[in-house]
């Protein structure tokens, strides 16, 4: 049985100097147990950058936790059987969070940790990949798969009313609602990125030959930044930018073989995780000059799961790696390297 929610744990942070760069790195969780960031569709960091949401099996089974990023202290948030850590996400106001446990979607208050069941996946269907909370904080989008089909769903968090945005004969994953527009980005297995309107109309993003990796909307939703893996493995992986209305796609920068990346909030700086076996590094890149700086080695056995990300003010970087044992969370201070971004007032 999972341990009781609400219990707290003292900080386990350990500092070390990276052997390659001598940058100071913080290991935030103990690698004797597994800790993971939410899935790519989820929000892991609160708006003010003070709290990190993650999952861990430190109490015997995977459960949700929050970490105070000033003190390192951690509190257990859930105690549900079949908790799905990849589905964990903050709502936009950072006062609530939601997650799936088994077939049930729960909404919980961060203040008192009370949760309630919002929606249950019908028989014949199961959760696929990706849960994203809409910008209005009133609904979430996610994908379900059944026998020979898949569907993109939207559920209202107040009444639990669910509706299908689209249903397809292929698997759809990783939904990401487009800011300020009634559209949802999703990934078709083996077929790249697509946009779905709320009435079910779909359009494919005309990206170059190859495959697409992580994708991130600009704050206003005008463009999409994504990682492109060329067909020719000898070519460099690249960050590209797509503008849906104009159907234009342009190169932003070639990379040191990033397998995962994240932009700061205004898209002026990127943090990437290289899959180069000779240099499995965490790097930052200044967009304007396309210049990279190596921060540390991640040495993850699966570089595509490193999930590097900036804090909202761009003064910290967080990532995950199994370099010291089981998967753990890590952080770096980059305030001397990256300009601070003021807190989003929206």
Q: What local confidence, expressed as pLDDT, does residue 345 receive?
A: 45
251 pLDDT above the threshold of 60: yes
Name the residue among 260, 255, 195 with its Cα closest to residue 221.
Answer: 195
Signed CA dihedral, 21, 22, 23, 29: sign only: positive
pLDDT tens-place string over residues 31-69: 999 999 999 899 999 999 999 999 999 999 999 999 999
Residue 183, CA atoms < 13 Å, CB-side half-sphere: 23
Read off the tokens for 265. 């909030």
250 pLDDT above the threshold of 90: yes
Tokens 């430190």 belong to residue: 58
Strands 63-68 and 51-56: antiparallel
Residues facing residue 127 across a β-bridge: 144
pLDDT tens-place string over residues 152-174: 999 999 988 999 999 998 889 99
Q: What local confidence, expressed as pLDDT, does residue 189 receive?
A: 74
Mention the CATH class of domain 208-346.
mainly beta
What is the Cα 62 distance to its own chain's centre?
18
Name the residue among 135, 154, 36, 128 with its Cα closest to residue 91.
Answer: 135
How far is the C-alpha of 99 from the C-alpha of 78, rounded, in Å? 9
pLDDT tens-place string over residues 181-221: 999 999 987 678 999 998 889 999 999 999 999 999 998 89
Name the residue among 144, 239, 218 with its Cα closest to residue 186.
Answer: 144
Strands 202-204 and 211-217: unpaired
Name the residue among 152, 208, 156 with its Cα closest to residue 184.
Answer: 152
- The Cα-based distances of 72 to 8, 35, 113, 256 in angstroms read 11, 14, 19, 32
- The Cα-based distances of 344 to 66, 265, 293 in angstroms read 21, 9, 27
| pTM greater than the 0.85 cutoff | yes
Residue 338 has a CB neighbour count (10 Å cut-off) of 21
pLDDT tens-place string over residues 1-38: 566 899 999 999 999 999 999 999 999 999 999 999 99
Name the residue among 314, 303, 304, 302 with its Cα closest to residue 342.
Answer: 314
- The share of the chain scoring above pLDDT 70, in percent, equals 98
DSSP 261: E
Domain boundaries, the chain: 208-346
Overall residue count recorded for the chain in this entry: 346
Q: What local confidence, expressed as pLDDT, does residue 346 receive?
A: 43
Residue 122, CA atoms < 13 Å, CB-side half-sphere: 11
Average pLDDT, the chain: 94
What is the biggest distance separating any 2 CA atoms in the chain, rounded to whole angstroms? 53
Task: Give counts: helices (H), strands (E), the chain.
Answer: 0, 30
Residues facing residue 54 across a β-bridge: 65
pLDDT tens-place string over residues 311-327: 999 999 999 999 999 99
Name the residue among 190, 186, 189, 256 with its Cα closest to residue 224.
Answer: 186
85 pLDDT above the threshold of 50: yes
Helix (H, G, I), strand (E, B) or coil at 94: coil
């Amino acid at each position: 049985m999972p341990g009781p929610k609400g219990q707290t744990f003292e900080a386990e942070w350990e500092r070390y100097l990276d052997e390659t760069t001598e940058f100071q790195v913080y290991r935030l969780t103990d690698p004797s147990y597994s800790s993971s960031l939410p899935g790519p569709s989820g929000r892991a960091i609160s708006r003010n950058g003070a709290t990190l949401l993650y999952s861990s099996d430190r109490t015997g089974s995977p459960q949700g936790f929050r970490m105070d990023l000033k003190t390192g202290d951690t509190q257990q948030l859930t105690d549900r059987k079949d908790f799905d850590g990849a589905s964990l996400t903050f709502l936009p106001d950072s006062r609530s969070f939601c997650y799936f446990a088994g077939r049930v979607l729960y909404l919980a208050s961060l203040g008192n940790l009370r949760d309630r069941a919002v929606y249950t996946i019908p028989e014949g269907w199961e959760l696929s990949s990706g849960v994203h909370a809409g910008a209005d904080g009133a609904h979430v989008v996610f994908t379900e798969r059944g026998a020979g089909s898949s569907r993109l769903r939207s559920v209202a968090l107040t009444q639990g009313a669910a509706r299908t945005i689209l249903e397809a004969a292929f698997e759809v994953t990783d939904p990401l609602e487009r800011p300020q527009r009634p559209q949802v980005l999703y990934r078709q297995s083996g077929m790249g990125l697509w946009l779905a309107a709320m009435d079910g109309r779909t359009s494919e993003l005309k990206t170059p030959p190859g495959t697409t990796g992580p994708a991130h909307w600009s704050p206003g939703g005008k463009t999409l930044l994504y990682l492109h893996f060329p067909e020719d493995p000898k070519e460099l992986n690249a960050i590209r930018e797509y503008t849906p209305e104009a159907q234009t796609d342009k190169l932003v920068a070639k990379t040191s073989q990033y397998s995962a990346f994240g932009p700061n909030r205004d898209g002026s700086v990127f943090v990437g995780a290289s899959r180069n076996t000779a240099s499995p590094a965490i790097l930052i890149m200044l967009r304007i000059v396309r210049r990279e700086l190596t921060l540390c080695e991640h040495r993850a056995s699966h570089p595509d799961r490193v999930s590097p990300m900036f804090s909202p003010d761009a003064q910290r970087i967080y990532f995950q790696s199994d370099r010291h044992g089981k998967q753990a969370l890590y952080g770096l201070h980059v305030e001397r390297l990256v300009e601070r971004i003021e807190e989003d007032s929206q």
